Amino acid sequence: MPEPAPDQPPDLAAPVPAPRRSRIGRLLRNCRATAAIEFAFALPVLCAMVFSLYEVTEGVICYMKVVDVANTVSDLIGQVSIAQGGVGNTDFNNYYTAGQMVMSPSSGSNLGLAIASVYYDSTGKTATLAWQVTRGSGASISNATSFVSGLGTANGSTIIVRASYTYTSLLDYFLTSPIVITAQVAGQPRNLLPPAYKTGTPCPPASGSESCS
């Protein structure tokens, strides 16, 4: 009797049955999960972009408000009338409260203000610091006279206001540490002018019980 033929390896080139080919084709053509997979890859990047954009935008808005605080206080002091005759500690307290209101809806609790008055000689070149006060967390202005160099007029004066604010992101995602935002501006009195007021806006006023602090 003839010996049985040894086991033959399967023919790898054998054609796949038609039903199986049909199922494989449908699987390869199925794109229902493609969007979900792409979204899963894109979601972390999109979240990072949105959170970072939010934090940076809030920081820029906060910076613009700090600039507004400095301009607002400078403008208020510049409008001091002859009837007032100057500014005192009550005025500075009110100006600080006004600055906190400008920062709304941000908290104004860590707002700092430094206000200084500089006057010039008859040539308008030599600047002298007349007085300086601070409110909140504000530190004294160390460069008051140099900051307004070249802005003087004969016997004129300048009001310098520096506002500072510590911005802390609510998300703490991209900006993980508090940022100190500072804005410093200079303005001139519009009512208390020389020659009657050769040393700028008086602090405190000549009359009354106010102090300059």
**pLDDT tens, the chain, 213 aa long:** 556 555 555 555 555 555 666 776 665 666 666 777 777 888 888 888 888 888 888 889 999 999 999 999 999 999 999 999 999 999 999 999 999 999 998 888 899 999 999 999 999 989 999 999 999 999 999 999 999 988 889 999 999 999 999 998 877 767 778 899 999 999 999 999 998 999 999 999 988 788 998
pTM, whole model, 2 decimals?
A: 0.78
User: What is the pLDDT at residue 170?
Assistant: 76
CA–CA separation, 140 and 188 (whole Å):
19
Contacts of 187 (CB under 8 A, 6+ apart): 71, 74, 75, 77, 78, 158, 159, 161
Beta strand spans in 54-188 (E): 112-120, 127-136, 157-167, 179-187
User: What is the pLDDT at residue 166?
Assistant: 93
Residues in the chain: 213
CA–CA separation, 87 and 91 (whole Å):
6
User: What is the pLDDT at residue 53?
Assistant: 86
Contact (CB, 8 A) for 180 and 166: yes
- 155 alpha carbon, distance to own chain's centre: 36
Tell me the sheet residues that pair with 129: 118
CA–CA separation, 71 and 160 (whole Å):
10
Identity of residue 201: T
Given strand 179-187, what is the order of strands in its sheet? 127-136, 112-120, 157-167, 179-187
Instruction: Identify the three-state secondary structure at position 206.
Output: coil
Domain boundaries, the chain: 34-187
User: What is the pLDDT at residue 199?
Assistant: 94
Q: Report which of 184, 182, 130 is spatially closest to residue 152, judged by C-alpha positions.
A: 130
